[in-house]
Amino acid sequence: MQKYDFLVVGGGIFGISSAIELARRNYKVGLINPDTLPHHLAASTDVSKAVRMEYGSDIEYFKMAEICIRKWREWNDILEEKIFHEVGFLMLCKKKIESDKNSYERHSLNYLIANGYNPERLNSAALKNRFPAVNTEIYTDACYNPVGGYVKSGKAIEALAQYARKLGVDIHEGQTAQQLLHENGKLIAVKTQENATFHCGHAIIAAGPYTPYLLPELKPFMKATGHPVFWLKPKDPLLYATPKLTVFMADISNTGWYGFPFLPEHGIVKVARHASGLIMDPNKDDRYVSKDEIRQMRTFIATTFPSLLNAPLVYTRRCLYADTLDGHFWIDQHPEIKGLTISTGGSGHGMKMGPIIGEMTADVAEGKVHQFSKRYRWRHLNPNTLQSEEARNIDRAKI
Ligand SMILES: Cc1cc2nc3c(=O)[nH]c(=O)nc-3n(C[C@H](O)[C@H](O)[C@H](O)COP(=O)(O)OP(=O)(O)OC[C@H]3O[C@@H](n4cnc5c(N)ncnc54)[C@H](O)[C@@H]3O)c2cc1C
């Protein structure tokens, strides 16, 4: 009977980066996940996820993202596959960046400059010239930062799983954790729906939005929320391809809208919304995108990219956040059960932080302190806690 030092439950970016880090520290590591990796319903499984340092006035996320960008570049080399595309990052504003409405953009710009970066400030004429698809009647100010871009997230999980196997991680696909077995307050094994039992010295629960269903004591502090994603097929792809378009946020803290340049391998431009989302039960609820959300998307496109207005909508998806009430990650040992660590709470912005989340989870599981782990520890959040990720357009009334 195989006994792992660490058993990781969940092969999204939180789980796979933790498994890699623990294997690098010479532990015997196993990982279980339903179906195959990358799992088609996982938040980490997508064609692109934004990688940005722009976190408004949140200097900690700024620094974490700075480190992660360096590590994604390294992963491109280690994995011998270009998963991180550094095409830069564009913040579009309807008013001057200095205006009160743009505190997210204003603080992000100030931190970039204060930390020695050289972002380009673009007025509407420069914007028209540089990113011609953008409606400069509406967006009259912008900031382009060449550092940052997007990760092909599904591909990243595939390549990282390969790398994990090379490091000796036993990845068990088709296994769904159902019960955590513990004796005298210590976790000893994980039993699956498929009737297998995985014995381990320590388990890491990184099941994304399913985590509070495995550990109901987390339900008061986090929930699954569903967010729409849209793929449009542009008539003139070159107008939407880099360098004519890059990863962008369109007045995001006031609208929630953001998107990606044309992806040739899929023939699409992807846009999505980082807002309140819909509270969902990941095990039960339908994940279809509503007509009303499609109508809202068309309105956004009409004002932002007029030449994309009639582009066929070729795919929609509702993807789930493991949404903590405050929007911060949740990485800590369980307060009552020994040998159990939780690594989740991506809250719509965790993919880019993969390289650091793996390290932080491994440190915390070993009982160490990571330079950034303090804020993500087990915390008692009251129901009125507000989301604090500054790029997110939050209808504070709904939360
Ligand atoms: C629409 C959308 C857009 C986003 N955009 C960005 C972005 O641009 N930039 C960014 O940085 N982040 C973004 N994010 C957030 C990011 O995708 C997530 O924070 C991150 O992928 C979460 O990773 P995870 O490993 O926690 O969860 P997941 O990727 O969901 O992985 C969880 C894994 O656990 C498995 N699992 C579930 N239950 C069990 C069980 N019982 N037993 C075993 N395994 C189980 C699942 O199959 C899955 O493989 C976005 C998220 C969404 C939904």
Is the CB of 10 within 6 Å of ligand 1?
yes
Q: Is the pLDDT assigned to residue 397 strictly greater than 60?
A: no
Digit-coded pLDDT (tens) for 17-76: 999 999 999 999 999 999 999 999 999 999 999 999 999 999 999 999 999 999 999 999
Q: Which atom of ligand 1 is nearest to the CA of 343?
A: 26
Q: Is the pLDDT assigned to residue 395 strictly greater than 70?
A: no
Q: Which atom of ligand 1 is nearest to the CA of 226?
A: 53
Q: What is the mean pLDDT of residues 101-106?
A: 94
Confidence tier at 80 by pLDDT (50, 70, 90):
confident
Give all domains of the chain, ordered by start, each with its CATH number: 88-148+223-322 (3.30.9.10)
Is the CB of 227 within 6 Å of ligand 1?
yes
For residue 376, give the DSSP letter: G
Helices 59-78 and 153-166 sit at what angle, rounded to 10 degrees? 60
Digit-coded pLDDT (tens) for 337-359: 999 999 999 999 999 999 999 99
Q: Which of 349, 352, 389 to mutate to test the pocket of ligand 1 (most atoms within 8 A of CB)?
A: 349
* Alpha carbons within 13 A on the beta-carbon side of 237: 11
The 8 Å CB, 24+ separation contacts for 107-115 are 107/56, 107/57, 107/390, 108/53, 108/54, 108/55, 108/56, 108/62, 108/143, 109/143, 111/53, 111/55, 111/57, 111/59, 111/62, 112/53, 112/54, 112/143, 112/145, 115/62, 115/66
Q: Is the pLDDT assigned to residue 170 strictly greater than 60?
A: yes
Q: What is the mean pLDDT of residues 80-89?
A: 94
Q: Which two tokens stand for residue 234?
A: 């542009």
Q: How far is the CA of 43 from the centre of ligand 1 (A)?
A: 3
CB proximity list for 365: less than 8 A, separation 6 or greater: 6, 18, 22, 202, 204, 333, 341
- Which amino acid residue places its CA nearest to atom 22 of ligand 1? 346
> pLDDT at position 175, please?
98
Backbone angles phi, psi at 13, to 5 degrees: -65, -35
Look at the pTM and tell me if it is higher than 0.85: yes
How would you write 248-292 as a 3-class SS string?
A: EEECHHHHCEEECCCECCCCEEEEEECCCCEEECCCCCCCCCCHH
Compute the mean pLDDT over every residue in the chain, rounded to the nearest whole number. Answer: 96
Q: Which of 14, 72, 344 to mutate to test the pocket of ligand 1 (most atoms within 8 A of CB)?
A: 14
- Please, what is the end-to-end C-alpha distance for the chain in angstroms? 46
Q: How far is the CA of 171 from the centre of ligand 1 (A)?
A: 17
Q: Is the pLDDT assigned to residue 96 strictly greater than 50?
A: yes
Distances (CA, A) of 35 to 27, 38, 42, 176: 25, 9, 11, 8
> pLDDT at position 101, please?
86
Q: Report percent pLDDT > 90 for the chain.
A: 96
Distances (CA, A) of 310 to 56, 101, 133, 228, 262: 33, 30, 14, 19, 16
Q: Is the pLDDT assigned to residue 360 strictly greater than 60?
A: yes
d(CA 250, CA 272): 11
The 8 Å CB, 24+ separation contacts for 234-241 are 234/262, 234/268, 234/269, 234/307, 234/308, 234/311, 235/307, 235/310, 235/311, 236/307, 237/262, 237/264, 237/267, 238/262, 239/132, 239/133, 239/307, 240/133, 240/269, 240/305, 240/308
> pLDDT at position 399, please?
43
Helices 153-166 and 13-24 sit at what angle, rounded to 10 degrees? 30
For residue 101, give the DSSP letter: G
Q: Which atom of ligand 1 is nearest to the CA of 209?
A: 30
Digit-coded pLDDT (tens) for 312-325: 999 999 999 999 99
Is the CB of 210 within 6 Å of ligand 1?
yes
